[in-house]
């Protein structure tokens, strides 16, 4: 019998002629595996690309000031204030609070009230003029806390062809395996693959939104202060810096830093339980959503072109059941989340989208919805076989 994960790999292999052309079509296993030390650049970058990586990293570490346009409402004053552990691009001790409204089964991202992102700080200038942090969002019906995600390997995520994600999707569960992943959508209906609700379409959009929503810095894409932390209204003069506050060249450098961050390499292990755990991971059905490897398409950057990488995610939306319900998204229900990448799992100490689980086994047993059957199969294992799965996950 062919397992579910293998069937999905067969679907991707059948798609390769479409993605790469029909002459000398590579198998996915023959393509190079992109991986490296955590926080380091991709292998194979040119000198010019490495220069942009380093210049972008410097901006990623930079603390922005209110004189440069920080705020007036914001969460942090630098990128690596959140993405700091165990290296630039990692996680942190902070979290993001989001609020949305579900009205007649439609998700309202509350754009008229400053958006779904809650800003917890104000600049000193804004405070002196009477502005206060946003502690509530008018009209919100649901609230969720999101831990800070790793951003390693996101350039490769951006380079996975949309057709590959569509090949993994099975919105009507046509194969009857109980898994019905869907491609996410952003606010204007574009296919999306970034964000916990799969609601951001591209890496450039992902970084643009971080500048605006986390630091309150306007960009040329959204030069309106209200889209960058100025709603509810703030007193005149609270943020007099001309818009846009972040130059396109600055944003492009940070985007290239993130684009060129290498995926985390799985740790080598000669523990026989690890090999057993890898086989169990697939047979239990975990790999149906946490797809071990994805493959990029042709790309103008050689280091991103036609590479395999061990993301352990299909980048699709899946229903995880009412116990994990949170906010909605433009194309996601309250209980749907993009499959969390397991890459770099061994560097984490909090798990699930909101960090509620303090151990991997606790996170596994909290899965519901489409993952309920895999969770039940794991729970039914003997303790030694469960340990084999956990040791395998400990190498990621």
Report phi then psi at 3, rounded to 5: -70, 165
Gyration radius of the chain's alpha carbons? 21
Looking at the DSSP bridge assignments, the partners of residue 85 are: 91
Whether the CA torsion 235, 135, 103, 370 is positive or negative: it is positive
Q: Express each pLDDT in 199-220 by its tens digit.
A: 999 999 999 999 999 999 999 9
Order the strands of the 142-147 sheet from edge to edge: 106-108, 95-103, 142-147
- In this prediction, residue 235 carries a pLDDT of 84
- In this prediction, residue 28 carries a pLDDT of 65
How many residues are there in the chain? Answer: 396
- In this prediction, residue 23 carries a pLDDT of 42
- In this prediction, residue 29 carries a pLDDT of 72
Pick the range with the lowest mean pLDDT from 135-149, 164-178, 209-223, 356-370: 135-149
**pLDDT tops 70 at residue 7:** no
Mean pLDDT of the 74-84 span = 96
Mean pLDDT of the 268-289 span = 97
Pick the range with the lowest mean pLDDT from 12-26, 52-66, 83-97, 308-322: 12-26
| Phi-psi sector, 71: left (phi>0), alpha (psi -120 to 50), beta | left
Name 82's Cβ contacts closer than 8 Å, sequence gap at least 6: 75, 76, 91, 92, 94, 148, 214
Nearest to 232 by CA among 327, 162, 135, 324: 135
pLDDT confidence band for 3 (50 / 70 / 90): very low
Q: Express each pLDDT in 8-34 by its tens digit.
A: 553 444 354 445 554 444 556 778 899
Nearest to 215 by CA among 189, 249, 186, 251: 251
Mean pLDDT of the 162-180 span = 95
**pLDDT tops 60 at residue 2:** no
**pLDDT tops 60 at residue 151:** yes
Domain count, the chain: 1
Mean pLDDT of the 224-229 span = 77
**pLDDT tops 60 at residue 343:** yes
Q: How many CB atoms lie within 10 A of CB 128?
A: 12
How far is Cα 144 from Cα 258, in angstroms, rounded to an integer?
26
Looking at the DSSP bridge assignments, the partners of residue 147 are: 95
Nearest to 210 by CA among 254, 276, 273, 269: 254
According to DSSP, residue 69 is labeled T
The pLDDT mean for the chain works out to 91
Mean pLDDT of the 78-99 span = 95
Element (H, E) at 99: strand 95-103
What the block records as the tokens of 149 is 């995600």
Beta-strand relationship, 336-338 and 184-185: unpaired
Nearest to 217 by CA among 337, 347, 64, 107: 64
What's this model's pTM, rounded to 2 decimal places?
0.92
Beta-strand relationship, 184-185 and 142-147: unpaired
Nearest to 49 by CA among 306, 202, 207, 257: 257
- In this prediction, residue 290 carries a pLDDT of 98
**Helices 47-61, 248-259: crossing angle, 10 deg rounding:** 110
Mean pLDDT of the 335-351 span = 97
* CB crowding 171-207: b at 16 or more within 10 Å, else e: eeeeeebebbbbbbbbbeebebbbbbbbbbbbbbbbb
- In this prediction, residue 13 carries a pLDDT of 44
**pLDDT tops 80 at residue 96:** yes
Mean pLDDT of the 91-118 span = 90
**pLDDT tops 80 at residue 6:** no
- 3-class DSSP state of 30: helix
CA distances from 177 to 141, 226, 303, 316, 324 (A): 33, 45, 36, 16, 21
- In this prediction, residue 26 carries a pLDDT of 52
Tell me how far apart the terminal alpha carbons of the chain are, to the nearest angstrom: 27
**pLDDT tops 60 at residue 390:** yes
Nearest to 260 by CA among 28, 30, 20, 36: 36
How far is Cα 11 from Cα 6, in angstroms, rounded to an integer?
9
Domain hosting residue 108, numbered range = 4-393
Say whether the peptide bond before residue 232 is cis (omega within 30 degrees of 0). Answer: yes
């Amino acid at each position: 019998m062919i397992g579910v994960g293998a069937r999905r790999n067969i679907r991707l292999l059948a798609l390769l002629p479409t993605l790469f052309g029909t002459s000398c079509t590579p198998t996915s296993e023959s393509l190079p595996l992109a991986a490296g030390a955590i926080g380091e650049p991709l292998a194979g970058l040119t000198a010019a690309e490495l220069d942009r990586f380093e210049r972008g990293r410097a901006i990623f570490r930079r603390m922005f000031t209110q004189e440069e346009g920080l705020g007036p409402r914001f969460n942090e004053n630098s990128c690596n204030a959140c993405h700091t552990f165990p290296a630039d691009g990692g996680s942190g001790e902070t979290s993001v609070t989001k609020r949305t409204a579900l009205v007649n089964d439609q998700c309202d991202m509350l754009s008229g009230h400053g958006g779904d992102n809650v800003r917890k700080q104000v600049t000193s200038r804004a405070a002196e003029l009477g502005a206060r942090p946003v502690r509530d969002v008018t009209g919100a019906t649901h609230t969720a806390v999101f831990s800070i995600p790793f951003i390693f390997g996101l350039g490769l995520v951006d380079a996975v062809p949309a057709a590959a994600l569509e090949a993994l999707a099975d919105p009507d569960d046509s194969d009857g395996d109980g898994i019905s992943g869907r491609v996410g959508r952003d606010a204007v209906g574009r296919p999306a693959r970034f964000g916990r609700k799969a609601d951001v379409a591209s890496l450039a959009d992902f970084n643009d939104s971080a500048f605006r929503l986390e630091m309150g810095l306007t960009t040329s894409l959204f030069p309106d202060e209200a889209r960058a932390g100025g709603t509810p209204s703030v007193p005149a003069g609270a943020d007099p810096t001309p818009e846009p506050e972040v130059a396109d060249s600055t944003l492009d450098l940070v985007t290239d830093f993130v684009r060129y961050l290498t995926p985390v390499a799985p740790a080598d292990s000669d523990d026989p339980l690890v090999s057993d755990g890898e086989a169990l991971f697939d047979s239990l059905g975990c790999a149906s959503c946490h797809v071990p490897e994805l493959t990029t398409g042709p790309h103008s950057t050689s280091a991103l072109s036609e590479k395999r990488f061990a993301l352990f995610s299909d980048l699709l939306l899946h229903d995880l059941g009412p116990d994990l319900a949170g906010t909605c998204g433009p194309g996601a229900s309250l209980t749907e989340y993009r499959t969390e990448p397991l890459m770099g799992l061994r560097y984490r100490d909090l798990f699930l989208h909101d960090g509620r689980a303090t151990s991997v086994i606790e996170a596994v047993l909290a899965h519901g919805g489409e993952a309920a059957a895999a969770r039940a199969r794991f729970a039914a294992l003997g303790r030694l076989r469960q340990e084999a799965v956990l040791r395998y996950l400990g190498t990621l």
